[in-house]
A = this chain, B = another copy of it.
């Protein structure tokens, strides 16, 4: 059943479905049709049905989709029924911001450790988690069953830290450094290149302004 590879285009849309379904659930909505959902989310109903069907039919003809059931199923697909242990490397502003962001805990992403090379930050606590020196990373990852590392360090050190992590069995890296990591296949990397995102916005701003002046 779960044989053929699901395209990343589909995966990229799942969190958004998940968000809308969560809201609907909280509002007490019990069922929804692809048509209604499509109007809400501003995508085609066809795409919604096609997307869900990649995972094998969550709906019922003539009825639609049960909101709570669908919400849970998508959560499972996204691995949100499991807990994940994560560490944050780089306890600067961004690292602290992510560390303080409670919502991740709610989804099963548990912050287990923080690391920074600055001795000023070491010892400081973020939500009860002390910032440790970088030297501790290797043993900490091995001994605490860490599966996700969040990289919020400058690009110069990111590449080598990623290598250390890879050598110590990390399974996934959430990379905020402005550099492409070159890790062995099998280690998942998700990049958040903020400046890329801002440049995209800048392009669209520019283009629209030009278009107006024609």
Q: How many copies make up the complex?
A: 2
Q: Interface digits, A111-122 against B, CB 8 Å rule (1 contact, 0 not)?
A: 000000000000
Q: Is A128 located at the chain interface by the 8 A CB criterion? A: no
Please give the distance in Å from A20's CB to the nearest CB on chain B: 9
Q: Which chain B residues lie closer than 8 Å to A11 at the CB level?
A: 200, 203-204
Q: Which of B18, B193, B199, B208 contacts A186 (CB 8 A)?
A: B208
Q: Interface digits, A121-139 against B, CB 8 Å rule (1 contact, 0 not)?
A: 0000000000000000000
Q: Which of B14, B77, B109, B201 contacts A148 (CB 8 A)?
A: B201
Q: On chain A, which size bracket covers the interface?
A: 35 or more
A201 touches B172 (CB 8 A): yes
Q: Is A16 located at the chain interface by the 8 A CB criterion? A: yes
Q: Interface digits, A79-114 against B, CB 8 Å rule (1 contact, 0 not)?
A: 110101000000011101110110110010100000
Knowing A97-B93, A192-B194, the reply to whether A171 touches B203 (Cβ < 8 A) is: no
Q: Is A184 located at the chain interface by the 8 A CB criterion? A: no
Q: Is A209 located at the chain interface by the 8 A CB criterion? A: yes
Q: Which of A's residues lie within 8 Å of B, judged by CB?
A: 2, 8, 11-12, 14-16, 18-19, 41, 77-80, 82, 84, 92-94, 96-98, 100-101, 103-104, 107, 109, 147-148, 171-172, 174, 178, 180, 186, 188, 190, 192-206, 208-210, 212
- 25 inter-chain pairs at a CB distance below 8 angstroms, sorted by A residue, are A8-B200, A14-B199, A15-B193, A16-B193, A18-B199, A79-B199, A79-B202, A84-B205, A93-B96, A93-B97, A94-B101, A96-B97, A98-B194, A104-B198, A107-B199, A171-B208, A172-B204, A174-B198, A174-B201, A186-B212, A188-B201, A188-B204, A188-B205, A190-B201, A192-B192
